[in-house]
A = this chain, B = another copy of it.
Amino acid sequence: MNKEYPSAALERAVGEFAKLPGIGRKTALRLVLHLLSKPEEEVSTFGRVFSTLKQDIRYCKVCHNISDTDTCAICANPKRDSSTICVVENVQDVLAVESTMQFNGLYHVLGGVISPMDGVGPQDLQIASLVDRVSEGGISEVILALSPTMEGDTTNFFISRKLQPLGVKLSVIARGVAVGNNLEYADEVSLGRSIQDRTPLK
Query: Footprint of B on A, CB under 8 Å?
Result: 1, 4-10, 12-13, 16, 19-23, 27, 29-37, 40, 43-58, 60, 65-68, 72-74, 90-92, 94-95, 98-99, 112
A130, B72: Cα distance in complex, Å? 58
Apart from A5-B95, A6-B94, A16-B45: 4 A-B pairs, beta carbons within 8 A:
A4-B98, A29-B91, A35-B53, A37-B112
Contact B6 A49 (CB under 8 A): no
**Can you name 19 A-B pairs with beta carbons within 8 Å?**
A1-B95, A4-B95, A5-B66, A6-B91, A7-B67, A9-B57, A9-B58, A12-B49, A13-B57, A16-B46, A20-B31, A20-B34, A20-B35, A22-B27, A29-B91, A33-B90, A43-B50, A46-B51, A47-B51
Contact A7 B57 (CB under 8 A): yes
- A13-B66 contact in complex given A20-B34, A58-B7, A91-B29, C-beta closer than 8 Å: no
Measured CB to CB, the nearest residue on chain B to A68 is: B7
A175, B73: Cα distance in complex, Å? 59
* Interfacial chain B residues near A10, Cβ < 8 Å: 57, 66, 91
* Interfacial chain B residues near A12, Cβ < 8 Å: 49, 56
* Interfacial chain B residues near A5, Cβ < 8 Å: 66, 95
Q: Is the interface of A mostly helix, strand, loop or mixed?
A: helix
* Interfacial chain B residues near A47, Cβ < 8 Å: 47-53
* Interfacial chain B residues near A40, Cβ < 8 Å: 54-55
A98, B6: Cα distance in complex, Å? 12
Contact B57 A52 (CB under 8 A): no
Q: How far is the CB of A140 from chain B (nearest CB, A)?
A: 25
A158, B56: Cα distance in complex, Å? 50
In the A-B complex, the 10 residue pairs with the closest CB atoms = A47-B51, A47-B50, A9-B56, A40-B54, A44-B51, A7-B68, A7-B66, A43-B54, A47-B47, A16-B49
